[in-house]
Structures are given as structure tokens and as C-alpha cells.
Structure 1
Amino acid sequence: MKNPPSFPGGVSVSRRAVYDWPADDGAGRAGSGTPHLHTVSSEGYVVVAGEGTVQTLGQDGYAEHRLFPGKVVWFSPGVVHRLVNDGGLEIVVVMSDAGLPEAGDAVLTFPQDLLEDPERYEEAARLPDQSPELTDDPRVAAAARRRRDLALAGYAQLRERVDAEGGAGLAELHAAAGLLVAGRVPEWRAVVRAGAERSTAGTVAALGELAHGGVGHLSDATVAARAAHAGPPRYGMCGRLTTWAL
């Protein structure tokens, strides 16, 4: 049997049930997720159930984007985003550069003193290992909620800066995020080469063949299928995640 094809575009796909934990600022009738940004990966949401909002901080300042079934929202690296749950909000998440988010391409909006101290940042961001026997591991849930609340404290300060300065108010966060992930770049390059870069190179090569009437790449046609990872959904940044190994 031939090797299975890579998933289109070298992206990752997950399904996320947004946290129903109330937040101190009262956002969302049901709760909200953890505000954060990605330094390399773009992210897209396809809403499949419930309703809510994604709050964003970007070069155009603060914005709110309503979410309801059938809505699609996407954003580029550097945009701070926070999911707000008004009831039963579930989304399919598509991430570019599959493997990078799992390898650390997410920086939470902790207060600036934590962002500038890599050891304290990592300690605050780390979650305990989830017990495979428990559908809802209370230790992990408590740690994820503490992490969310700490990020919300920094997010409130960040919003004040963005309200006053516009996109320039994100400069300190972006600088700190870059320093936090700089050491991961060699690992990330390998992930991109094996994923998104390989997918793009395959498309470019196929176009080169087709331009001269060649169809050799079609002889490699194969099909792949995957079931979701077994076990309970993981605790992610903004909700419980069901993932696939694509």
C-alpha cells in the first residue's frame, strides 16, 4: 500500500467546545476562553453549534465578531483572540502549519512581567498531564481555569493600551512573544518543511508537469481516513478539544 497522502495544505483540524467558565469581566452568558496569539500560524473558525463572539486585538484595534452556525472567521499571526461563549458554542478550528501550535506557537496574554520571564511564563502556562481514565480531570480543569484567569488579567491591561494607542499597543506583547518562542525555531522549521512546505512543493511540481502535458503525479493517487483521537477531549486554550492525527 502506498503512503497515505498528507492532509490538504498541511493544516490541522480540531473541534472545540468553548469553555463555560464565567469570567470576572462578565463576558459571555456561558463563559469564555483564554486570550492568546500565534506567532506563525494563521487560524480559522467554522462555527457548527451555539453562539458567541470572538474578541480580537489587532492593527485595527479592538473588535468583536459574532459567531453562529455557518459563520467563518479567520485571522493572521499576531492577532490576540478570545472566544466568548453565549451558549453551547462549538467550532471546527483549522490551523495552518500543522504541528506548530502543539509545539508552542501560542503565547498567552499574561501580565507583562510574566511574559518577560521565560521560566515563570512556562510554569504559569503548563498544565498537568490529563488522566486518560477521567472524562473531566479536576486537576487539569482547575489549572486550565487558573491559566485562563491569569491571561484575562493581562488581556484587560492590553485592551486598555490598544484602546489608547491602537495597534501600536500590541508592540510590547509581540516583542515578548518573539523572545519566548525564538528557541523553538529550528524545531518549527522541520515541522514546516515536512508539512506545509512539502504540500506546496508538491503542488508546484504538479503544475510544472501539467504545463507540459505530464500527469505522472496522478499515478500516486491515494485515499486516507482518520478517526478522532481516543479518550476525553483535551483542555486547550479556549475549550475542550477533539483532535485528529492528520
Structure 2
Amino acid sequence: MSLFPGGTGVTHLSVYDWTGPDGLPGGSAHVHLVCTEGYVVLEGRGRLQTLGADGYAETPLTPLTVAWFAPGVVHRLINDGGLRILVVMQNAGLPEAGDAVLTFPPDHLTDAPTYQAAAALPPDDPAAGARRRKDLAVDGFLALRAAVERDGPEALAAFYQRAAALVHDELPAWRDRWQNGPFAAANATGHQLARLAEGGFHHLHDGRLTVLGPPPTPTYGMCGRLLTYPT
């Protein structure tokens, strides 16, 4: 099986140390619509700022901390020094297909072309584009945080509605990715259990070792520089 175990995906993340509009260094705030995201802290220290059903929270991150959050948790990483994380994403293929929506201010979330224009990175200077995108997302996050602290988690409803509308046309393609990837990986376990229950074991002869070397070129992601392993 070529998929990473469980139909997940793994990425090495070096969190941005760029200062944001509120003076804190870190990445872009965003939300995932169908994928749970997990962090395994490798080096450094930082904080995870979140908005969700429990309101606003800030979680310290130190080496060997493991934290994960379900779809709907708006999150922002703060880099307090050398923060490096192994990211484990549910539903490999869907995060790469646009499962995450950045917390831009509402006027950048009106429709898909407007959002994509704000999120795009210019090929001639992707670092500058990533920094501009990050600051815009932090501006939106700070406004959402103020609304949640004032009115409670229900204040996120308008942002959730806009985020869902932005990806609506992509859902058929997402379903195909899910069925051919993560769902197929989970379903394979059911077939193996059925074979074993019948006394079969021949699928064990098909086992192979897969080794992935480090990806050669980092990219500018939402939270930092990414080394993404193929899924």
C-alpha cells in the first residue's frame, strides 16, 4: 500500500518566525473543514491558539507534546523559538486539495475567486506573499477572537458558513479522493479481518516495506515552511 498508514499524511513543519499584526511571531490562522490535524512537537517551544466550541484557548507546545483538533477548530501557531512540528493529517489528499480555509476578514471570503486571489503566492516572491497572506489571516483571527470572547462560540457561525460556501464546488472531487484513498485504506482492514476469520492469510504474502526520504524542497505553507511527504 502506497498510502501512509491509516490513510493519513505527514509533513515536517518549521513554523514561521515572522511577526504578525499583534507583534507575535508565527503562522496563519485557519480552519479545516473535514480533517482532524495532529501535532507532534519535535523541537523548540511555542503556543497553539484556538477558537472553537470551548471558546478561546492557548495551549503551550514543548518537545514531545502531542495535540490534535477536529474540524471546526480555528487555530494559529505562535513560535516562541525554533518551533518544529511533525504534522499528521487525517484524510491524506484532502488537506492538499483545499480542506483548509484561512481566517481572512469577511470581504476576502465573499466568493472563491476573491478568496483565491488573497491566498495565492506570487511565483516570483512566494515568501513575501506568504507573509502578506499570514498577516491578513491573523487580522481576521483577531476579529474572530474578539467576537468569540464577547458573544461566545456562536460568533463563529458566519465564518463557518462562508468557509463552507467557498469549497462547495470542490466537494465531488474531495469525495473521489476520500473514496480512493483514506476510505480504501480503512476498508482494506475489513477485508483482511474477513480473510483471517475464514482462516486465510495469503494477504500477508503481499506485505512490502515502503521508505520515503526527506522531500527535497520546502514550500511556503499556511503555518510555516513545509516538507510534505507524498501520499
- Shorter-chain TM-score bucket reads over 0.9
Q: 2:122 aligns with which of 116, 124, 128?
A: 128
Q: 1:107 aligns with which of 78, 101, 105?
A: 101
Contact kept in structure 2, 1:228 and 1:245, CA below 8 Å: no
Taking the aligned partners of 2:150 and 2:199, their CA distance within structure 1 comes to 58
1:79-104 Cα distance to aligned partner (Å, 9 max, x none): 10000000000000000111111111
Contact kept in structure 1, 2:21 and 2:139, CA below 8 Å: no
Taking the aligned partners of 2:200 and 2:43, their CA distance within structure 1 comes to 44
TM-score (norm 1): 0.91
Q: 2:18 aligns with which of 21, 32, 48?
A: 21
Question: Which residue of structure 1 aligns with residue 197 of structure 2?
Answer: 211
Taking the aligned partners of 1:6 and 1:148, their CA distance within structure 2 comes to 30
Taking the aligned partners of 1:118 and 1:185, their CA distance within structure 2 comes to 13
TM-score (norm 2): 0.96
Taking the aligned partners of 1:49 and 1:93, their CA distance within structure 2 comes to 13
Report which of the two has the higher share of strand.
2
Taking the aligned partners of 2:211 and 2:179, their CA distance within structure 1 comes to 23
Is there any run of 5+ residues in structure 2 with no aligned partner, and where? none
Question: Which residue of structure 1 aligns with residue 229 of structure 2?
Answer: 244
Residue 34 (1) aligns with residue 28 (2): yes
Q: 2:187 aligns with which of 167, 192, 201?
A: 201
1:180-215 Cα distance to aligned partner (Å, 9 max, x none): 001111111111112110111101111112223221
Q: 1:10 aligns with which of 7, 21, 24?
A: 7
Residue 161 (1) aligns with residue 147 (2): yes
Taking the aligned partners of 1:177 and 1:239, their CA distance within structure 2 comes to 22
Taking the aligned partners of 1:20 and 1:220, their CA distance within structure 2 comes to 45
Q: Percent identity over the alignment?
A: 50
- How many angstroms does 1:129 deviate by? 3.2
Q: 2:136 aligns with which of 150, 156, 160?
A: 150
Match of 1:89, SS state, is strand
Taking the aligned partners of 2:102 and 2:23, their CA distance within structure 1 comes to 20
**What is the aligned residue count?**
231
